[in-house]
Amino acid sequence: MALQTSTVDVRTRDGVADAFLAAPKRPGTHPGVLFYMDAFGLRPRLEEMAGRIAEQGYVVLVPNVFYRQGRAPLLDLSDLADPDARGRLFTVLRPWMGQLSPERAMSDAEGYLDFLTGLPQVSDGPVGVTGYCMGGALALRTAAHRPEQVAAVAAFHPARLATDAPDSPHLLVDRLRAEVYVASADHDQGMPPEQQARLEEALTSAGVRHVCEQYDGAAHGFTMSDTAVFDEAATERHWKALLDLLGRALH
């Protein structure tokens, strides 16, 4: 399917977030999908992934959630496939991640969703939200923040979804109306078995329709083909799960 892609500016309470937008070129309207980036931010791999979703008949918005630091690209990602260089990037990224409090993130989410649903090519009705790595928690929080609007939420190789913190995302699941899919990486220190079990229990207790799975043998970040941890088989499994979810919930 032919696509129309562009960089757009999204107004938030704190400023303007640059974002990547992908939509089918064909006439008519299509369901909207908010796509939360991983920590490395807007780059060709995320544009490629957004395009694959858009090819299935969705309008996909990928905001630069670190817009307070400037417009993307914010970092030199030419050595992203080098594990040592990847680790060094986190000396810069961790403070940015820490500054994006749940309150700020959900204020931003309102701007992202209002922009997306206000586009003329986006159909009336619910939207989907998907997130990768740090974006997984943002996706879950957004679905809880706008439960009347979000019908599908997915998180892939997420971290810290069910911690002991008083603001842990799993404590919000009783607000959800969305169907949930979570795919955790194997041996992921950010989402170990005890957190996976806690999230599963919370979703079950809240009566949320959900599937939580561990992708055995796949490392944290497995969908990102521009890194050394890319796992093609796990990524294809993720595509099937995500597109099936969106197809069920948004049509």
pLDDT in tens, 127-168: 999 999 999 999 999 999 999 999 999 999 999 999 999 999
Residue boundaries of the structural domains of the chain: 3-92+107-250
Fold held by 3-92+107-250 = Rossmann fold (3.40.50)
The candidate with the shortest Cα–Cα distance to 55, out of 4, 105, 98, is 4
Quick check: helix, strand or coil at residue 247? helix
The Cα 142–Cα 110 span in angstroms is 8
Query: Which structure tokens are listed for 116?
Result: 């997306």
The string of pLDDT tens digits covering residues 124-134 is 999 999 999 99
**Angle at alpha carbon of residue 19, lines to 17 and 22, rounded to 5°:** 155
- The catalytic site residues sit at 133, 188, 220
Q: Is the Cβ–Cβ distance between 23 and 60 less than 8 Å?
A: yes
d(CA 178, CA 192): 24
Cα separation, 2 vs 73, in Å, equals: 26
The Cα 199–Cα 204 span in angstroms is 9
Kindly state the greatest CA–CA separation across the chain: 48
**Global pTM value:** 0.98
What's at 195, amino acid-wise?
Q
The pLDDT tens digits of the residues spanning 193-219 come to 999 999 999 999 999 999 999 999 999
Token digits for 77?
């990602």
Do strands 32-36 and 127-132 pair parallel, antiparallel, or not at all (unpaired)?
A: parallel
Average pLDDT over residues 228-243: 97
Confidence of residue 47 (pLDDT cuts 50, 70, 90): very high
Dihedral of alpha carbons 65, 68, 74, 80, sign? negative
